[in-house]
Amino acid sequence: MLLRSVLLCLSLFSASCQYQNTLMPSWQQDTTLIYNGQAAALAQQATTPHLVARAVYAAPGHIEKLLAKQDDSPAPVQQLAVMGDGTFALGFSDAATGQFLDVQECGGMLFVTGLHNQAYRIHIQNLTPMPLDLAIGIDGKDICTGREASWSRSSLRVAAKQSLLIDHPPHGKASALLFGKVQGDQALFETHPSGTKGLIQVAAWLSRDAPSVPGQTLRPTQYPPLNLLPGDQPVQYR
């Protein structure tokens, strides 16, 4: 009987360790997750973006063809669309009227209806309690440098729970962001950081100078059976 109890405890302890070890570190705002204490530091130094949001644009008539080729269920976007895991929301508006453009979300991408040479604005809302570093590529060009787009941190930044409005490229003499003339469907399938004509990519990282986040011990409902935890008891970040 004693041996059976010991084996049961060891089994529970092993299951607890395995459960804790399979949880991936994260710095996001989701308060239902358990973190291991190193996530924020790793994310601050990461070179790979935490999230890359993709939007394709085209004129009326052609954007419908791209939606059909995506072969998914499109849903209309009301102003901003929450992208990926909820790190930020993304939207597009007409620069002249301020009205949000016709945008549909389909297969994890945004499909923006825009006329050739129409001036537009990009809206980015940070949904996390931490500042974000951004990089934006439009038609294969980095919005800050004008050179070939890449997924590298730029000077763009959006503060915690704040919004960023971009209506012109910081580089060069261009006074506005303008939609180009899009033909074909290359933008729909392009996944390279450099992008292509008709594709807008917004990459986000946890800012390098983000404040350290204080830890909070586990809630009672998060403890495994018999309170058996590995030695490196995790903490939860808010």
Which pair of tokens denotes residue 191?
């996944």
Domain extents in the chain: 49-206
Q: What is the largest CA-CA distance in the chain?
A: 82
What's the CA dihedral at 87, 203, 157, 171 to 10 degrees?
-150
C-alpha separations of 116 from 60, 128, 160, 198 in Å: 10, 34, 34, 11
DSSP 88-135: EEEEEEETTT-PBP-EEEETTEEEEE--TT-EEEEEEEE-SSS-EEEE
Cα separation, 59 vs 61, whole angstroms: 6
**Span 161-190, average pLDDT:** 88
From the list 72, 147, 137, the residue with the least C-alpha distance to 105 is 72
Which pair of tokens denotes residue 230?
């590995």
Q: How many CA atoms lie within 13 A of 198 on its CB side?
A: 22
pLDDT tens across 43-101, in order? 677 788 888 999 999 999 999 999 999 988 999 999 999 998 888 999 999 999 999 99
Cα separation, 49 vs 154, whole angstroms: 12
Residue 192, C-beta contacts closer than 8 angstroms, at least 6 positions apart: none
From the list 234, 204, 190, 208, the residue with the least C-alpha distance to 85 is 204
Question: Does residue 236 surpass a pLDDT of 50?
Answer: no
Check residues 16 and 69 and name the one with the higher pLDDT. 69
Alpha carbon 201 to its chain centroid, in Å, reads 10
* Helix H or strand E segment including 219: none
Average pLDDT, the chain: 78
Sign of the four-CA dihedral 20, 21, 23, 25: positive
pLDDT tens across 192-218, in order? 888 899 999 999 988 887 765 545 555
